[in-house]
Structure 1
Amino acid sequence: MEYKTQMEAARKGILTEQIKKVAEKEGMDPQKLLVLVAEGRVAIPANKNHPGLEPEGVGEGLRTKINVNLGISRDCRDFEFEIEKARKAIEMGAEAIMDLSSYGKTREFRRKLVGMSKAMIGTVPMYDVIGHLDKDLGQISVQELLDVVRVHAEDGVDFMTIHAGINRKTAERLKNNGRLTNIVSRGGSLIYAWMELTGNENPFYEYFDDLLEVCREYDVTISLGDACRPGSIHDATDACQIEELITLGELTKRAWAKDVQVMIEGPGHMAINEIQANMVLQKRLCHNAPFYVLGPLVTDIAPGYDHITSAIGGAIAAASGADFLCYVTPAEHLRLPDLEDMKEGIVAVKIAAHAADIAKGIKGAREQDYQMSLARKNLDWEGMFKLAIDEEKPRKYRKSSIPEIEDSCTMCGKMCAVRTMNKIMCGERPTFE
């Protein structure tokens, strides 16, 4: 039986190799996963032109996945450095990489990235439009915008962020209500500017069915971008954000009608007390489609530490229903991240994702924590290092301050509570001299 997309296959009762592999990774009954994919509650982004992909599922009942952003820009054009970052991200367990390249030989870079990556690859075609076409934004035609989407699909991209929800009605809402930080989405701002310059409707909204035909042809998952995501906690949960979300829900149903898989993108910057309600609202308005969030950053006053503000919000968001977390690095709002920034961002988002999986009761999530606690009880330092999210940093700390006795650390020494209890529980007399 023939099929074009993972969703179409699932609706026909076909267990694809991708569904089987994801079910095995997640410890889920393949038939249960098939139902979730058929209903759109799980997406398996898997472009038919990405042969080296190790498929992952995003959505209900699955482990929270993480994404790493990278790419070349006018100020940072080093292909090999960005490819090195991609290799490191994959080594550290990132399930997805988004190529946000916006300048130069973007197609050459994108093809190289798809060719070397077992992780799913995402892009934002709107970022590529100006560099790829080498034209002024206002001079770019609708057909040229759609053609760039097809190019990305042909190159093997597994999911694309398309800012289809910011139509002229939402744009008018933004003008009438005002915002402290306006539109902070790069793709969203470009679409808004294009509409203002040309006087036309958002082409990704007006010609959404044409986009769906491209996505269906290559089995590209459409990640509906939130152009009106809040760029400050002041703007969170405002009329613009909610109106766009309603539109994204309508577009989700249209995509599913064509067997195209969907993810919904979310905030952004948001106070802690608003996060859970936003997750519930998104799931309701967008029919339980997988939710992909940037952060949310829970305060605006920590430049240089936004991997922490993001991890706090990400953990709460994922525990409340978000399925996919985009990492944020210490360099957010300041510069393109280097390797060390990227590593700090990945560790922070992995902590958030794992903490959320424990809260959600994801199968097997607590097992690593149990093993870590066992290693700590046994004062098994090597075991602790191997179980850590980041093995390198704890080894470095341990090596930098050697204790007098091996079964302790330099904070407590012979007064280590674990050491004392181990000895007492075994009938030995602890010594503190």
Structure 2
Amino acid sequence: MDYTTQMDAARKGIVTPQMKIVAEKEHMPVEKLMALVASGKVAIPANKVHTSLSPEAVGQDCRTKINVNLGVSPEHNNHEEELQKVQNAIDMKAEAIMDLSNFGKTREFRRKLVKMSTAMIGTVPMYDAVGMLEKDLKDITVDEFFSVVEQHAEDGVDFMTIHCGMNRKTAQRIKDNPRLTNVVSRGGSLLFAWMEMNNQENPFYEYYDRLLDICEKYDVTLSLGDACRPGCTHDATDAAQIEELITLGELTKRAWAHNVQVMIEGPGHMVLNEIAANMKIEKRLCHGAPFYVLGPLVTDIAPGYDHITSAIGGAIAASCGADFLCYVTPAEHLRLPTVDDVKEGIIAARIAAHAADLVKGIPGAQEWDDAMSKARVDVDFDKMISLSIDPEKARRYYESSKPECEGTCTMCGKMCPARTMKRILAGEDVSIR
């Protein structure tokens, strides 16, 4: 192999097998794709070890992708249930799955996940450190942190969320400017605590080149985590968030110098009128790197419905430049999501992503909507159902309330405007009795 990473290959003018697949999926000339990968504006997360992967591109001029979070915890550690979620995510065409397991035999589950998944796999090694090393957080050494990262890379993980940007300067900013919800990032809070207890710099910031060496070796895309993302609308776009984002922009350029692909993670919770500005700030400060957002959740008062608050924010964020949406389920803030919660979260995120792709003018997006509209004009319910984002639910709803008049639904019956117009324009009489 004459290249180390997808970025290295693009810069050398080498078309990789992954680029060929992605270019076809995106309806994009491979030469354009190569230029975007070479510049860092598009990432193709594809660990060399992940042989079952069907690669995807994240970034400029590409379809908005979605990620599904899953994984066991000490309170809920049913591996079979998590694998069912994995299969559902793959069946529902999620492009990425993040294993956030933080308990038990994480490596066994992770390897099984990588082996079965055609979707790209992400992890947060910090979550795994305490359980894998079986040590108190304070006693973990720098070398041990990096040993966990190396193990995840060896196992075939395509991208890793690592909170490199929260250095001691940013940590001080948090202490000097108290927040309503402090640090809500799990990985970020663990690093913050480790730094405070040991009076040391963030090891992933201090020894960043060591991290880049691991990523380059396996072609792991570095997802630069936002430890200071706002955990409530009150904290959005504050000093700590922007301080960290500036640092992430600097770290992005250093990663690119190592031919390491980068994504930037973003908010969080944020009111509607701040979203567009935040997308522009990220793209400017981080040099056009792909932007991966959690939500944003546009209000804090809807536990049980946060897949909706997230989809609202995600649609706006992606239409304004975000490239990758992390789904949120109805269980957010309340419990580990069930299989049904995961499905609800995926559907909500896919709706948001497609809504944004219509704005972006992504090839095929408008054509999908137009095909649905044509089916409605033709009063073709079978076609409508097959084109829907969740055909199973659409068919279940339609068949649960059958109309007396075939070719209509129980909302309008014979007064269906599509039926009326189809008949009258065909020169037929219209009867509604």
Matched residue, 1:347: 347
Amino acid at match of 1:102: N
Amino acid at match of 1:249: G
What is the aligned length? 433
Aligned-partner Cα distance in 1 for 2:31–2:409: 49
Please state if 1:279 is matched with 2:282: no
Equivalent positions of 1:324-343 (< 5 A) are 324-343=324-343
Amino acid at match of 1:383: K
Matched residue, 2:149: 149
- Structure 2 unmatched runs, 5+: none
Aligned-partner Cα distance in 2 for 1:79–1:4: 34
State the Cα distance separating 1:407 from its structure 2 match: 1.3
Aligned-partner Cα distance in 2 for 1:340–1:81: 11
Partner SS, residue 366 of structure 1: helix
Matched residue, 2:405: 405
Matched residue, 2:14: 14
1:135-180 CA distance string (max 9 Å, x none): 0000000000011000000000000000000000000000001100
Aligned-partner Cα distance in 1 for 2:65–2:48: 21
Partner SS, residue 264 of structure 2: strand
Matched residue, 2:121: 121
Aligned-partner Cα distance in 1 for 2:174–2:311: 29
Aligned-partner Cα distance in 1 for 2:242–2:86: 34
1:264-315 CA distance string (max 9 Å, x none): 0000000000000000000000000000000000000000000000000000
Aligned-partner Cα distance in 1 for 2:364–2:84: 31
Amino acid at match of 2:102: S
1:51-104 CA distance string (max 9 Å, x none): 110000000000000000001110111111101100100000000000000000
1:316-344 CA distance string (max 9 Å, x none): 00000000000000000000101110000
Matched residue, 1:4: 4
Equivalent positions of 1:34-433 (< 5 A) are 34-433=34-433
Aligned-partner Cα distance in 2 for 1:427–1:47: 61
State the Cα distance separating 1:5 from its structure 2 match: 0.3
State the Cα distance separating 1:29 from its structure 2 match: 0.3
Aligned-partner Cα distance in 1 for 2:425–2:153: 62
CA RMSD in angstroms comes to: 0.6
Partner SS, residue 131 of structure 1: helix
Aligned-partner Cα distance in 2 for 1:432–1:272: 44
- Greater Cα offset, 394-403 or 234-243: 394-403
State the Cα distance separating 1:392 from its structure 2 match: 1.1
Amino acid at match of 1:43: A
Amino acid at match of 1:177: N
Aligned-partner Cα distance in 1 for 2:415–2:116: 51
Please state if 1:24 is matched with 2:24: yes
Partner SS, residue 195 of structure 1: helix
State the Cα distance separating 1:214 from its structure 2 match: 0.2
State the Cα distance separating 1:235 from its structure 2 match: 0.2
- Structure 1 unmatched runs, 5+: none
Aligned-partner Cα distance in 1 for 2:47–2:409: 50
- Greater Cα offset, 216-225 or 398-407: 398-407
Aligned-partner Cα distance in 2 for 1:39–1:171: 31
Aligned-partner Cα distance in 2 for 1:419–1:9: 55
State the Cα distance separating 1:393 from its structure 2 match: 1.1
Amino acid at match of 2:22: V
Partner SS, residue 418 of structure 2: helix
Aligned-partner Cα distance in 1 for 2:76–2:210: 34
Aligned-partner Cα distance in 1 for 2:256–2:200: 26
Amino acid at match of 1:93: K
